[in-house]
Amino acid sequence: MPFAAILFDAYGTLLDVGSVRAAAERAFPGNGAALSALWRDKQLLYSWLRTLAGRYADFWHVTGDALDYAVAALGLEVDDTTRTELLAEYERLTPFPDAAPMLEALASRDVPLAVLSNGTPRMLDAAFGNTGLRHHFAALLSVDAAQQYKVAPAAYQLAVDHFGASADELLLVSSNGWDVAGAAAFGLQTFWVNRQDAPVERLGAEPTGIGRALADLPRWLDERG
């Protein structure tokens, strides 16, 4: 195995953030798709803006702010109970169907697996505990320890420090093109799960490998030898 550890992004890579749509639709019939999409867009944007501005707030707070914005932007109103229920969806996101088989396929490869995520430790513990995937990971690394979100170098440095390896000995697996670009610029090896067949981000950093699904990762590792 050519890597000291394999790191996985959580949201959108292992855990399907689109699974909040059903709860959003129950809360706001006819608006579930629009609300969940805008919520996710603002969640990411706020994480980047807070990092750039030096105004860190943890991901639970950011997720709540993003929800509040999305509700207001769509001209909706939310009571405290419904808001709490919607936020709780981030602690029980549905894993992608190929996540568990892929992790099982990596279990015999004698390489540590970890999550490197914007999520808070509590969010990650809850989400991966609820999915039954927690036992696959040696660590759930949260950028909360760095007080900066991906793609800040400090976020990726957490994995280097945790495993005591050089950046190029670590592989980050993510479905988010911006995350792959940030990790590659930092010096990590990267595998992009390009589910939407999107073009590579024009940020001056190329993925080490590309697949269309998580199931492509074990095959790609085998090809590398």
Q: pLDDT digits over 106-164, tens only?
A: 998 889 999 999 999 999 999 999 999 999 999 999 999 999 999 999 999 999 999 99
Question: In this predicted structure, what is the pLDDT of residue 108?
Answer: 86
Q: 116: which 2 tokens?
A: 């490197």
CB 172 within 8 A of CB 191: yes
Beta bridge partners of 90: none
Q: pLDDT digits over 209-221, tens only?
A: 999 999 999 999 9
What span, in angstroms and rounded, lies between the C-alpha atoms of 10 and 99? 11
Question: In this predicted structure, what is the pLDDT of residue 106?
Answer: 95
Q: pLDDT digits over 129-141, tens only?
A: 999 999 999 999 9
Which one from 9, 58, 144, 179 is the annotated catalytic residue? 9
Assign 87 to helix, strand or coil.
helix
Average pLDDT over residues 20-28: 96
Q: pLDDT digits over 166-211, tens only?
A: 999 999 999 999 999 999 999 999 999 999 999 999 999 999 999 9
CB 115 within 8 A of CB 128: yes
Cβ partners under 8 Å of residue 37, min gap 6: none
Residue 216 catalytic?
Answer: no
Domains of the chain, with CATH numbers? 5-15+93-224 (3.40.50.1000), 17-91 (1.10.150.240)
CB 23 within 8 A of CB 85: yes
The answer to whether residue 99 scores a pLDDT higher than 80 is yes
What span, in angstroms and rounded, lies between the C-alpha atoms of 23 and 49? 27
Average pLDDT over residues 50-64: 98
